A and B are shown apart, each in its own frame.
Chain A
């Protein structure tokens, strides 16, 4: 019998891609996706369930579908995407509800995979060059996103302790770059002038979009448990990143950077405090634990960046190349249930 998998945050960038990847896998019987919004990617056999913001139907859904695996892909790690005020609600309360449903008496869930971020380590002058999964952060979290992620991970740790029958894998991803994903950081790299704090040239790491989905799948397939950093090989100084992108740098004052960039932030630029810390001190995480579990990366930090730059060049020349998709409930229902559709197998 194949796996029965529930994906929370189906309409997020990662949720959709995870669903696509799992659908193609032969030993996955059922993929159910939960989100407040409609899916943004075309899906073959994933069942979409619309939820309210606090995921109140989760317990019922877990009971009814008898899923054995949950992929929690909906954590917000990029505060440029939602209002800061809502992050706590979405991340922390959403996770608490999810854990309550998974830990329920008639839950069949044995594996939980969570997509977290290396943001939990912060970025400060006192940091080690390589955070291992066990290294504590050196400065207290200042922003809502970071605090919410730390709280989520705290709940996950407690849940794993209380429910030894459920394997909990928390994957902390470094900054993601790829042809499709748009993050606060990738938007900075597409500006005519790329911001850099004068006098600082921190070392940064990236993980490629493809490796993110592969790592999540790997965690599902191998039933990993524990915390894992996911990061491409190598580190690059930010100045080199700017040169690879091929744009001139915009030097920001090292003193009063937060204050001076506040007006620009209003324009929607990602110069939030956690990004400014990154541009000042960089962040390095040690990805050897996942590698020794057997995972192999397709891209290094440098290659992830190059791939992003190449995709940007194409976009600038011909515009979007992926066709736009709109979810239509009737159409999806037709393809999934109508006797007129000939299904293989």
Chain B
């Protein structure tokens, strides 16, 4: 049973989808603030600046297209889950920019805390809406504040994979994202992405160098081979397509401390399967890497 005070609506499938008034509405900003940095470190002004760069990139370079965008809830918390690819993945900023531009609501990108320990990178990431992927952070964003959060369950295993392994989704961690969505009582909205692999393919990687630098992987990309150091920044103009799959809700009471591990793992695997199939389907329909 859901806790009292939480309204429920029965869905045709029989699953319960909680209607989510945020438990604690965001506190009003006090007067006298000198910046618009919110309590997660996100700044709308910084976002607008990013949009100036990513807008043209999104529209003209990658010519991003959406399918099923209406499945992303217009209000209330939801956890967006996508596949992750490309040595320096372009899918994360494009997805965030896309949702913000098309739906006009902020997206917080959950990422490895590793970002936070790098000078400059951590701050830039935070201002753009990045949040360290701690379960408590995700819970507060989704449940307490009713925000959209984006997570790539493959993590660096997805972005670190070689060109020969493209579009084969890695394992989805230990399914932590499912447990968070269950606890927060929000739906998971899977998003399948294609094009990101071709935007910056990894042809080789060095484990020794990565260990030395303390980073997850050190890639050698096709972009670097063709353009030298400029290849770190320059993406190939692959056509990017996003397909939003049906939101997944869970028939479990929210707010539990823990959920059955096997159930969590099972659900995570199901979501991974559906995303993998969607990716294959999108690849079947794709006539050209560059024109879609």
Residue positions of A touching B, CB distance < 8 A? 125-130, 132, 135, 197-201, 203, 233-237, 239-240, 243-244, 254-255, 281, 284, 288, 300, 302-303, 306
Whole-angstrom CA separation of A284 from B20 in the bound complex: 25
A/B interface sample: 23 pairs, CB < 8 A: A125-B132, A128-B135, A128-B137, A129-B40, A129-B134, A129-B137, A130-B140, A135-B136, A199-B118, A199-B120, A200-B119, A201-B123, A201-B126, A203-B41, A235-B39, A237-B35, A237-B37, A243-B34, A281-B116, A284-B39, A288-B24, A300-B30, A302-B32
Given A125-B116, A129-B40, A200-B119, CB of A244 within 8 Å of CB of B34: yes
Distance of A215 from chain B, by nearest CB (Å): 18
Q: For A291, give the chain B residue with the smallest CB separation.
A: B24
Q: Are B114 and A198 interface neighbours, CB within 8 A?
A: no
Q: For B134, give the chain A residue with the smallest CB separation.
A: A128
Whether B52 is near chain A, meaning CB under 8 Å from some CB there, is no
Contacts of A302 in B (CB 8 A): 30, 32-33
Whole-angstrom CA separation of A302 from B136 in the bound complex: 24
Whether B27 is near chain A, meaning CB under 8 Å from some CB there, is yes
Whole-angstrom CA separation of A127 from B121 in the bound complex: 17
Q: For B118, give the chain A residue with the smallest CB separation.
A: A199
Contacts of B27 in A (CB 8 A): 233-234
Using A132-B136, A237-B35 as known contacts, list a sample of 18 further A-B pairs with CB atoms less than 8 Å apart, ordered by residue number in A: A126-B132, A126-B134, A128-B132, A129-B137, A130-B137, A135-B136, A197-B119, A199-B121, A201-B41, A233-B30, A234-B27, A237-B41, A239-B35, A240-B34, A281-B116, A284-B39, A288-B24, A302-B30
Whole-angstrom CA separation of A236 from B123 in the bound complex: 13
Whether B113 is near chain A, meaning CB under 8 Å from some CB there, is yes
Which 10 A-B pairs rank lowest in CB-CB distance, beginning with the nearest? A199-B119, A128-B136, A254-B119, A128-B134, A199-B120, A125-B117, A125-B116, A235-B39, A201-B123, A126-B113
Distance of A273 from chain B, by nearest CB (Å): 16
Q: Are B33 and A240 interface neighbours, CB within 8 A?
A: yes
Contacts of B134 in A (CB 8 A): 126-129
Whether B122 is near chain A, meaning CB under 8 Å from some CB there, is yes
Distance of A71 from chain B, by nearest CB (Å): 30
Number of interface residues, chain B, beta carbon within 8 A: 30
Contacts of A203 in B (CB 8 A): 37, 39, 41
Q: Which of B27, B121, B122 lies at the interface centre, i.e. has the most chain A CB atoms within 10 A of its CB?
A: B122
Distance of A123 from chain B, by nearest CB (Å): 11
Contacts of A126 in B (CB 8 A): 113, 132, 134
Contacts of A281 in B (CB 8 A): 116
Q: For A131, give the chain B residue with the smallest CB separation.
A: B136
Whole-angstrom CA separation of A245 from B140 in the bound complex: 31
Contacts of A127 in B (CB 8 A): 132, 134
Distance of B179 from chain A, by nearest CB (Å): 15
Q: Are A129 and B140 interface neighbours, CB within 8 A?
A: yes
Whole-angstrom CA separation of A203 from B121 in the bound complex: 15
Q: For A233, give the chain B residue with the smallest CB separation.
A: B27
Distance of B29 from chain A, by nearest CB (Å): 8
Contacts of A254 in B (CB 8 A): 119
Whether B182 is near chain A, meaning CB under 8 Å from some CB there, is no
Whole-angstrom CA separation of A215 from B55 in the bound complex: 48
Contacts of A233 in B (CB 8 A): 27, 30
Whole-angstrom CA separation of A201 from B121 in the bound complex: 11
Contacts of A284 in B (CB 8 A): 39
Whole-angstrom CA separation of A165 from B134 in the bound complex: 37
Whether B131 is near chain A, meaning CB under 8 Å from some CB there, is yes
Contacts of B117 in A (CB 8 A): 125
Q: For A280, give the chain B residue with the smallest CB separation.
A: B117
Contacts of A237 in B (CB 8 A): 35, 37, 41
Q: Are B123 and A200 interface neighbours, CB within 8 A?
A: yes
Distance of B183 from chain A, by nearest CB (Å): 14
Q: For A235, give the chain B residue with the smallest CB separation.
A: B39
Contacts of B33 in A (CB 8 A): 236, 240, 302
Contacts of B126 in A (CB 8 A): 201
Contacts of A128 in B (CB 8 A): 132, 134-137
Whole-angstrom CA separation of A125 from B33 in the bound complex: 26
Distance of B126 from chain A, by nearest CB (Å): 8
Distance of B117 from chain A, by nearest CB (Å): 4
Q: For A241, give the chain B residue with the smallest CB separation.
A: B34
Whole-angstrom CA separation of A201 from B137 in the bound complex: 19
Whole-angstrom CA separation of A281 from B117 in the bound complex: 8
A200 partner, pick from B32, B37, B122, beta carbons under 8 A: B122
Whole-angstrom CA separation of A88 from B34 in the bound complex: 40
Whole-angstrom CA separation of A218 from B188 in the bound complex: 42
B78-102 vs A, CB cutoff 8 Å, 1 = contact: the mask equals 0000000000000000000000000
Whole-angstrom CA separation of A161 from B251 in the bound complex: 37
Contacts of A303 in B (CB 8 A): 30
Whole-angstrom CA separation of A274 from B33 in the bound complex: 27
Distance of B112 from chain A, by nearest CB (Å): 10
